[in-house]
A = this chain, B = another copy of it.
Amino acid sequence: MPAPTPAPSASPVRRRAGRPTAAILDQDGITTAALELISSKGYDGLTMAALARTLGVAPSALYNHVSSKDDVLVLLEDHLAAMVDVSAFGSEPWEEAVRKWAWSYRDVFSEHTPLIPIIAVLPVANAPKTLAMYEAVTAGFRDAGFPEEKIISAIVAIEAFVFGAAYDVTAPADIFDAGTLADQVPNFTAAVDRLALEQHERPTDVAFSLGLEALITGFGALRG
């Protein structure tokens, strides 16, 4: 497929072919373009070259605004963190607030699992919106009577569960089909069959709910 024909007059100041969203060559514009690219071509399509093409510049131009592709991923992660719903902290009971936060967090990142290795080890100082999410959640835990020295540990544990569950959402439906090996693993096969039989919701949602409710109950007991 040939490259799209350039706009009639390609001024060096204003670029792009005149489509809905305005794209400016700064960190916000790069983030917007990256999200656009991911939603149309997936993370495999997110290359520095494709990003530059979306923005109408040469690949090397990107390096005036980000220092690496990893830097782009950090911008994306922080953008997504701002979309996680923490609004129930302070307005609803702690249990319900944690529930909404965790489901929202999982749903946002299940569409962006390639960012999980990034966020899981990213210093919060590099991600202000992520930090703002932590602040809201921490305040919610404290106001609910949580002992201060356990708050971070509890958040880290819930986050670990959320990240793992985000991957699980993307698993194929037949992930537990043992195929020709089925008769060698009778207990497993029987349990998988029973799950399929008695389940109405998505298996990944049932597992997430089961684990999350256990964490909420267990952690809730720590409150003063």
Q: Is A218 an interface residue (CB 8 A)?
A: yes
In angstroms, Cα B209 to Cα A150, docked, is 12
User: CB < 8 Å: which of B124, B178, B186, B198 contacts A124?
Assistant: B178
- Identify which of B113, B161, B171, B217 contacts A161 (C-beta below 8 A): B161
B-binding segment of A6-14, A21-29, A57-65, A134-142: A134-142
Q: Which residues of B contact A121 (CB under 8 A)?
A: 167, 170-172, 175
By a CB distance below 8 angstroms, the chain B residues around A194 are 148-149, 151
Copies of this chain held together in the complex: 2
Residues facing B in A164-200 (CB within 8 A) are 164-165, 167-168, 170-172, 174-181, 184-188, 190-192, 194-195, 197-199
- CB contact between A160 and one of B125, B135, B165, B199 (< 8 Å): that residue: B165
Within 8 A of B (CB), among A118-162: 120-125, 128, 131-132, 134-135, 138-139, 141-142, 148-154, 156-162
The interface of chain A, by Cβ under 8 A from chain B, is 113-114, 116-117, 120-125, 128, 131-132, 134-135, 138-139, 141-142, 148-154, 156-165, 167-168, 170-172, 174-181, 184-188, 190-192, 194-195, 197-199, 203-204, 206-208, 210-211, 213-215, 217-219
